[in-house]
Amino acid sequence: LRILSFRWEEELTRRLSLESMVETLREEAQEAEALQEELNEKIERLKAELVVFKGLMSDPMTDLDTKIQEKAMKVDMDICRRIDITAKLCDVAQQRNSEDVSKIFQVASKKKERKLTSDDDLSEQDGDNGRFSDDEVSCSLNITDEMKRMFNQLRETFDFDDDCDSLTWEENEETLLLWEDFTNCNPSIDLQGEEENLGNLIHETESFFKTRDKEYQETIGQIEV
């Protein structure tokens, strides 16, 4: 009986010990489940924050890409149209020079007629010369207005925001003197001066577009950085 009681006590002790261990494991399992749920909540919250962060980052990147594309497109358009602008200026210069040459020959022929006519004819020719001078001034004003109209059209076409005073065609004493009566001036000198003015104007226009092109490239570089 003593042996049986001793064994029963050992079995009871083992059973109580095992029950205690099982209870401990159950508590640990419950704690682990609670921690797992907390971790799952944190993961879901981090996923939501990541989605929001990606959205916030994608908007500025999209805006930057759009700005870069717009700048690049505008630069390409300016570069392509610069050739057309130079060609238009050259056409205006050629037209003006051809009109200058025709006027010079007309003035020379009228000078010869003056020497061969009488005093009465001279007075009539003086009146004609006065009318011719008026025609020259009118032609000068028309070409000046045409230059102004062309540059205003170019401003509207390219949406210039810069200070383009160097490209403005102004009516001043110098431009009007180029179209005055040729009787008191050397035609070759006048033509040379006009060609230089037109050449300078074309050169200034090309320099202006080169400067704008450089500024666009710098702006694109800053945006990309």
| Residues spanned by the domain of 189 | 62-224
Tell me whether residue 203 is in a domain: yes
Calpha distance 126→135 (Å, rounded)? 14
High-pLDDT (> 70) share of the chain, %: 48
Tell me whether residue 96 is in a domain: yes
Using the predicted structure, report yes or no on whether residue 220 has a pLDDT greater than 80. Answer: no
In this structure, the number of other CB atoms found within 10 A of the CB of residue 79 comes to 14
Short-list 196, 221, 217, CA closest to 74: 217
Number of domains forming the structure of the chain: 1
Using the predicted structure, report yes or no on whether residue 8 has a pLDDT greater than 50. Answer: yes
Helix (H) or strand (E) holding 117, with range, is none
* Torsion angles phi and psi, residue 126, rounded to 5: -60, -40
Tell me whether residue 87 is in a domain: yes
Calpha distance 7→180 (Å, rounded)? 139
Tell me whether residue 143 is in a domain: yes
Tell me whether residue 105 is in a domain: yes
Q: How confident is the model at residue 40 (pLDDT cuts 50, 70, 90)?
A: very high
Whole-prediction pTM:
0.28
Q: Helix 2-116 vs helix 119-158: angle between axes, to the nearest 10 degrees?
A: 180
Tell me whether residue 40 is in a domain: no
Tell me whether residue 54 is in a domain: no
